C-alpha cells in the first residue's frame, strides 16, 4: 500500500449532511511525512515506536496521534449562527478541505473544538438557508470529482432520506403513533423511566454516551459517528425504545429533520435495511475518538428490531410551478430560500414556525432558537418576524387579505410537522378563496424519484444527476 495507511470500519453514513460515513478511513500521503513507500512507513514507525507490539497497542486504543502527531486536527469550532451569510461563510471556510482531507478524516470525532474535518453545514442545509445544489456547486468548482466523491455522497445521503420518506409517508405517521405509546410506557414502567431519564440527562455511567447526551443538549450538534454510536447504545445496551431516542434527537438537533433523523434511527435498529443493524463497539469508539473514550459494558450483539407491517411506496406527485400572479410568500423552517423559486417578487411575506410540532415534549433551546432565528433572518428583507401558531389558516388568511392577493406560494414541504400544518390549513384557505401553491425544487424533482429502495440506487445515478444539474466538472490534475 503505497503512501497510504488504510483503516476500515463497518459503519455507514447517516443523518444526511453531517458528513461522516465510516465505511473506511484513509490518511492521504500528504498527511504522513516521508511515507511514500512501505519501507519508509516501516522505518518511520520503527523510529517512533521501537516495536510492533507498542504500535498494535496504541492502534487498538485509537491513539494514532501518539504515532503521527501531525494528523492531529487544528483547533476549530463552528459558530452556528442561523443566517444565510453565516452558512455561506462556513461553506467557504470548509470547501478547501472537502476533498481528500475530508475523505481521510471525516470518521473521527476529535471533539467540539476540533471540527475542521467535517463541514458542519447540516443546520443551514436542513433549513435551506443554503441548498444542497449550492454546496455541490461550490465543492465541485474546487475539487476533482474523484477527490470530492465521499463528500458528494454525503450530500446525496440527505437527498436519499428526504426522497425515501416522501414516497413512504406511513413511516412518519407510525413513528408518531409509536412515540406516543412509548411515552405512555414511561408512566407505567419504572425501570424504563429510570433508564430513559439517566440517558437524556447523561447519567448512565457510560462515559462516551453521557458526554454526547450533554453535548447534544448544550450545543444542538453531534458528530455523525457519535450519533450512530449513541443510537446503538440507546437501543441495544440501554434497551430503550428507539422512538424515544429519535424524539430526543429531533428536539435538540439544530439540523433535526424528520426524514434523516427517523430513518437513521431505523437503520441503526435494523428496520430501514431489514435485519441489518449497527453495533457500537468499544474498540471502534476508542479508535475514532482518538482514545478519548474507551467504554465498558456495551452490548456485544445487536438483534434487529422488527415491525409487523410494510410501508407501501407512493409515487411522487410533482406540483406545477404557479403562474406569475401577485402572491403572498410563505417561509417555513423547511425551506428558507424559497423566494428564488418564483420569478417575481412577492406582494408580502409571512414566516410560520412548526418547530413545536416535532414532538409532544418540549423543544431544546438550541434547536428552537436556531429555527426561529433562521426564519427571522430570511424575513428580514420584508420587515417581518416569525409567528408560531397551531392553526396556520388564520395567520395566512389575514396576511393574504392585508396584501390584497388570492395566491399563497411556498416551497414544497416534505413529510413532517410543517406539511401537517399546511395540510390542515389548506381546506380553510380554499374556503376563503385562496389558492396554495407548493413549489417543488427542480433538484428535488430530479433526485427524489431515485430514492425508492436502498441508497445504492441513488448513488449510482449521482454522475448523471450532477450532469443534469449542470454540476459535472472536468477532472483536475
Which is more confident, 156 or 31?
156
- pLDDT, average across residues 3-12: 35
Same domain assignment for residues 150 and 246? no
- Answer yes or no: is pLDDT of 324 > 60: yes
In a domain, 229, yes or no: yes
- Answer yes or no: is pLDDT of 64 > 70: no
Q: What is the pLDDT of residue 340?
A: 75
In a domain, 144, yes or no: yes
Same domain assignment for residues 100 and 192? no
- Answer yes or no: is pLDDT of 161 > 60: yes
Q: What is the pLDDT of residue 343?
A: 83
- CATH number at 238 reads 1.10.579.10
Domain boundary among 225, 258, 289: 289
In a domain, 151, yes or no: yes
Confidence of residue 323 (pLDDT cuts 50, 70, 90): low
Confidence of residue 24 (pLDDT cuts 50, 70, 90): very low
Q: What is the pLDDT of residue 472?
A: 72
Q: What is the pLDDT of residue 19?
A: 38
Same domain assignment for residues 249 and 231? yes
- pLDDT, average across residues 334-340: 86
Confidence of residue 474 (pLDDT cuts 50, 70, 90): very low
Same domain assignment for residues 93 and 135? yes
In angstroms, the Cα distances linking 401 to 344, 390, 395, 406 are 19, 20, 10, 8
Q: Each residue of 250-272: pLDDT tens digit?
A: 999 999 999 999 999 999 999 99
Same domain assignment for residues 431 and 452? no
Q: What is the pLDDT of residue 115?
A: 93
Pick the range with the lowest mean pLDDT from 247-261, 321-335, 386-400: 321-335
Percent of the chain scored above 70 by pLDDT? 82
Which of 7-16, 317-326, 445-454 is modeled with the greatest confidence?
Answer: 445-454
Burial of residue 119 (number of CB atoms within 10 Å: 0-12, 13-18, 19+) = buried
- Answer yes or no: is pLDDT of 50 > 90: no
- CATH number at 91 reads 1.25.40
- pLDDT, average across residues 157-175: 98
Same domain assignment for residues 161 and 180? no
Same domain assignment for residues 145 and 215? no
In a domain, 322, yes or no: no
Q: What is the pLDDT of residue 15?
A: 56
Same domain assignment for residues 189 and 101? no
Query: pTM value?
Result: 0.86
Q: What is the pLDDT of residue 322?
A: 67
- CATH number at 377 reads 3.40.50.620
In a domain, 279, yes or no: yes
- Answer yes or no: is pLDDT of 473 > 90: no
In a domain, 140, yes or no: yes
In a domain, 362, yes or no: yes
Confidence of residue 144 (pLDDT cuts 50, 70, 90): confident
Number of compact structural domains in the chain:
3
Same domain assignment for residues 275 and 181? yes
Q: What is the pLDDT of residue 274?
A: 93
- pLDDT, average across residues 60-65: 47
Same domain assignment for residues 178 and 274? yes
Same domain assignment for residues 177 and 278? yes
Structural domain including 423 reads 328-440
- Answer yes or no: is pLDDT of 20 > 50: no
Q: Each residue of 213-229: pLDDT tens digit?
A: 999 999 999 999 999 99
Same domain assignment for residues 244 and 353? no
- pLDDT, average across residues 187-214: 98
- Answer yes or no: is pLDDT of 75 > 90: no
Which of 55-64, 70-79, 324-333, 417-426 is modeled with the greatest confidence?
Answer: 417-426
User: What mean pLDDT, rounded, does the chain reach?
Assistant: 87
In a domain, 49, yes or no: no
Amino acid at each position: 500500500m503505497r503512501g497510504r495507511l488504510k483503516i476500515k470500519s463497518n459503519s455507514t453514513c447517516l443523518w444526511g449532511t453531517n458528513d461522516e460515513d465510516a465505511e473506511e478511513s484513509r490518511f492521504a500521503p500528504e498527511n504522513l511525512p516521508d511515507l511514500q513507500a512501505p519501507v519508509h512507513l516501516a522505518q518511520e514507525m520503527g523510529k517512533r515506536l521501537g516495536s510492533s507490539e507498542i504500535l498494535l497497542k496504541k492502534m487498538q486504543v485509537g491513539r494514532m496521534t501518539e504515532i503521527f502527531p501531525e494528523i492531529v486536527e487544528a483547533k476549530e469550532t463552528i459558530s452556528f449562527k442561523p443566517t444565510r451569510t453565516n452558512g455561506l461563510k462556513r461553506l467557504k471556510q470548509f470547501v478547501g478541505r472537502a476533498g481528500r482531507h475530508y475523505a481521510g478524516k471525516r470518521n473521527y470525532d476529535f471533539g467540539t473544538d476540533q471540527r475542521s474535518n467535517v463541514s458542519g453545514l447540516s443546520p443551514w442545509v436542513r433549513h435551506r438557508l443554503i441548498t444542497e445544489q449550492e454546496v455541490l456547486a461550490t465543492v465541485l468548482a474546487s475539487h476533482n470529482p474523484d477527490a470530492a466523491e465521499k463528500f458528494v455522497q454525503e450530500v446525496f445521503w440527505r437527498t436519499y432520506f428526504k426522497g425515501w420518506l416522501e414516497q413512504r409517508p406511513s413511516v412518519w405517521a407510525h413513528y408518531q403513533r409509536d412515540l406516543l405509546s412509548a411515552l405512555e410506557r414511561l408512566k407505567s414502567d419504572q425501570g424504563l423511566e429510570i433508564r430513559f431519564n439517566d440517558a437524556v440527562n447523561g447519567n448512565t455511567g457510560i462515559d462516551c454516551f453521557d458526554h454526547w447526551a450533554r453535548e447534544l443538549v448544550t450545543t444542538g450538534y453531534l458528530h455523525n459517528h457519535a450519533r450512530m454510536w449513541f443510537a446503538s447504545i440507546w437501543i441495544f445496551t440501554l434497551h430503550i425504545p428507539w422512538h424515544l431516542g429519535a424524539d430526543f434527537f429531533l428536539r435538540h438537533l439544530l439540523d433535526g429533520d424528520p426524514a434523516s433523523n427517523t430513518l437513521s434511527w431505523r437503520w441503526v435498529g435494523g428496520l430501514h435495511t431489514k435485519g441489518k443493524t449497527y453495533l457500537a463497539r468499544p474498540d471502534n469508539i476508542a479508535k475514532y475518538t482518538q482514545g478519548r473514550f474507551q467504554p465498558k459494558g456495551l452490548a456485544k450483539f445487536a438483534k434487529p428490531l422488527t415491525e409487523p407491517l410494510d410501508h407501501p411506496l407512493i409515487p411522487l406527485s410533482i406540483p406545477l410551478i404557479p403562474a406569475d400572479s401577485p402572491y403572498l410568500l410563505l417561509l417555513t423552517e423547511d425551506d428558507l430560500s424559497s423566494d428564488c423559486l418564483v420569478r417575481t417578487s412577492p406582494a408580502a411575506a409571512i414566516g410560520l414556525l412548526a418547530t413545536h410540532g416535532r414532538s409532544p415534549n418540549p423543544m431544546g433551546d438550541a434547536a428552537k432558537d436556531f429555527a426561529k432565528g433562521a426564519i427571522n433572518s430570511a424575513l428580514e428583507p420584508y420587515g417581518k418576524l416569525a409567528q408560531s401558531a397551531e392553526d396556520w389558516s388564520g395567520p395566512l388568511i389575514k396576511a393574504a387579505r392585508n396584501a390584497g392577493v388570492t395566491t399563497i406560494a411556498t416551497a414544497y414541504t416534505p413529510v413532517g410537522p410543517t406539511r401537517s400544518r399546511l395540510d390542515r390549513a389548506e381546506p380553510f384557505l380554499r374556503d376563503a378563496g385562496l389558492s396554495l401553491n407548493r413549489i417543488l425544487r427542480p433538484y428535488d424533482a430530479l433526485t427524489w424519484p431515485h430514492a425508492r429502495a436502498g441508497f445504492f440506487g441513488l448513488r449510482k445515478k449521482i454522475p448523471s444527476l450532477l450532469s443534469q444539474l449542470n454540476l459535472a466538472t472536468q477532472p483536475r490534475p
